[in-house]
Amino acid sequence: MALRTIADVGEFAFLSRLLPRLRAGRGTVVGPGQDCAVIECGGRWLFTIDALVEGVHFESGWLAPRQIGRKSLLINASDIAAMGGQPRFCVVNLGVPPSYPVRDLHALQRGIVAAAARCGASVVGGNLTRAARLSVSIALLGAAPRRLVTRQGARPGDRIYVTGTLGDAALAVRHLSAGRAGKLPVHVLRRFREPTPRLHAGRILVESGIVSAMIDVSDGLHQDLGHVCTQSRVGAAVRVDQMPLSRAYRALLGADPWLALQGGEDYELLCTIPERHVKKLKGLHARLACPITCIGEIIAGRRIQLRDDRGLITHVEASGFDHFRMRRRQGS
């Protein structure tokens, strides 16, 4: 019998078997399975790691070296944002092919340092190793807020909100893959090349006490809402006709929400808010400094319903971008 590979099983099925086996040790407030771990080390800190790999997250030529550096840091900061924290310290592992130009490596490094500074964090250490393809792994330590918000607190009746707009980064990937990036406005490409972690909005949402669950949308709305549903043991009804789509997205794809649902790398925040707190959210709008849109509500059950103004379109299981199953690229 052939051995089952990680491609057969998929990242999330593997993790769903692995995570329950990991026991939280002394000082671990929140263990694996969230955007960040929460640890007690003289106060509460958030701890997270993420990687950007050439050939997986981007192809050669899609990002300038400085952008690779910036993005590597910013996708980590987005995990800190999803828990309402403040990035503080990071360490960097660079896997670099021997043929990589030193000039580009300096630019990449400058990108990391500049992005860290912009988020209020310092690069305190690192490691450089040879590798077949360029890869950047960053571990980021952030100050935790007083309140803890994870993926686990969503309850039926809670409203589902997302910040900003969805699908632009996936649109950029689709155009870059097809060699048609020149046909896209620069600000759409920038959604892929220079994501903006919602640190400020994340902090305000968590501190306000109105959010029951939160996650950053990195693997596609569908996948990440699926994580919230699985971990909170609930389902969701999404109004696909109310998804926040940019003007550029609508100009190219009309009101078709498919790419915005399935795409990845939005680095927006998805949160759930109990109905009784929705009024308070209105009072926060000005402070958030970004749009926030209600796209549906949490329901009983385990499935995600897609609805429009005429009613139910379909039931779907949680899925989205799985590095090992490549749904996203197939969909493009």
Residues 83-112, interacting with a second copy (CB under 8 A): 88-89, 91-93, 95-106, 109
Q: Is 48 in the site for a second copy (CB under 8 A)?
A: yes
Q: Are 287 and 204 in contact (CB under 8 A)?
A: yes
Give the footprint of a second copy on residues 307-326 (CB under 8 A). 323-324
Q: Is 127 in the site for a second copy (CB under 8 A)?
A: yes
Contact residue for a second copy among 59, 133, 156, 178 (CB under 8 A):
133
Q: Is 50 in the site for a second copy (CB under 8 A)?
A: yes
Q: Is 299 in the site for a second copy (CB under 8 A)?
A: no
Contact range with a second copy by CB under 8 A, out of 127-135, 188-196, 206-214, 253-261: 127-135
Q: Is the dihedral of CA 95, 98, 101, 103 positive or negative?
A: positive
* Alpha carbons 296 and 240: distance in angstroms, whole number: 8
Give the footprint of a second copy on residues 134-193 (CB under 8 A). 135, 137, 139, 141, 143
**53 vs 237, which CB is nearer to a second copy?**
53
**198 vs 325, which CB is nearer to a second copy?**
325
Cβ at position 80, least distance to a second copy in Å: 12
* Alpha carbons 22 and 212: distance in angstroms, whole number: 25
- All residues at 6 or more sequence positions from 111 whose CB lies less than 8 Å from its CB, including other chains: 65, 66, 67, 68, 69, 70, 71, 72, 73
Cβ at position 74, least distance to a second copy in Å: 15
At 251, which helix (H) or strand (E)? helix 247-253
**6 vs 255, which CB is nearer to a second copy?**
6
- All residues at 6 or more sequence positions from 154 whose CB lies less than 8 Å from its CB, including other chains: 212, 213, 228, 229, 232, 234, 272, 298
